[in-house]
Chains A and B, each alone.
Chain A
Amino acid sequence: MSPSFKRPRKILSPPIIKGFKPFGGEADKHNSEPILLLFEEYEALRLCDYDMLTHHQAGAAMGVSRPTFTRIYASVRQKLAQAFAEGRQIIIEGGKVYFDSEWYHCNQCGCYFNHPEPHTKARQCPLCGSHEIAFSESENGLAEESTEVDDFCFCPTCGRKAKHHYGSPCNQMICPDCNTQMRRNRMRGCKNR
């Protein structure tokens, strides 16, 4: 069986240091192997214990599921405890991650822009100065893989159609016209088969 796909983890703010060194006691005599902390583990600890998010919220912020987040978090706790107990160095590096800041879209000039300071919100467009900006869910301004598939979600009450997006179930969408749960347009799939 092939291993399942490992989703890249989103890092909102990379660590400002590369690691930690123990001091005093036996720390200098012991020249043992350092503990490698992955970027995603650092981020998990930061989101959960520094920003005080729940595992659910933190998982969403990193683009992974709640169980995956909990696994990453369990691993960082274990590694830190080991480093403290054994007086070992901690080095933060590696992991399957990508760095990201939040993306916005300006309705005035049509540009997309990011906001490098993750702890504040953007207020105006950096290009035209307009306040008509909207939070852009993904980096759809960038040449990223599109989630749009050649199928429709439809509303069973009013028949409204919307493009189906891979990874977002139709039954979680609500029709903006009549507030009913949307459904996948199964007819089309049948014809193609």
Chain B
Amino acid sequence: MKVAITSTGNSPDSMLDPRFGRCSWFVIYDTETGSTEFIPNPYKNEEEDVGLAVVNLIISRQVKKIISGEFGVKVKSLLDRRQVQLILLKESGFTITKIIELLNH
């Protein structure tokens, strides 16, 4: 199963980006193979409809869970309809490595 994590940078030591649509990078982590892939967010500086574009990008990668700090109202209903699970981490201080460790418990 693939999990998307929003990240501030392109290294495993980067912090979780608290924004979903306008985060800097997406980390696609595959829980079966343990592989990670960093994708830059092409819509980061767009003004409108970022949520929809990002959701389509994420859906095209067959992601089933998304970890971020916050989701907009529109994104939430879009992802709900596509049966994608949202996970919100309110506390800061989570690095990508730490989140992946948590996922593997």
Contacts and interface: CB of A to CB of B under 8 A. Distances in A.
B71 A127 contact: no
Given A98-B73, A127-B102, A128-B102, A142 B88 contact: yes
Given A101-B80, A143-B70, A128 B105 contact: yes
Given A14-B81, A127-B67, A110 B91 contact: yes
Contacts of A100: 76-77, 80
A109 interface: yes
Interface residues of B, number: 22
A23 interface: no
A111 B73 contact: no
B101 to A, nearest CB: 9
B59 interface: no
Contacts of B105: 128-130
Contacts of B67: 111, 127
Interface of B, secondary structure class, is: mixed
A113 B83 contact: no
Contacts of A112: 87-88, 90
A79 interface: no
Interface of A, secondary structure class, is: loop
A127 B83 contact: no
B83 A142 contact: no
Interface stretch (A68-76, A114-122, A169-177): A114-122
A14 B73 CA distance: 16
A110 B90 contact: yes
A141 interface: yes
Given A98-B77, A101-B80, A129-B105, A115 B88 contact: no
Please list the 4 inter-chain residue pairs (A to B) with the smallest Cβ-Cβ separation, ordered nearest first. Answer: A129-B105, A99-B77, A112-B88, A141-B88
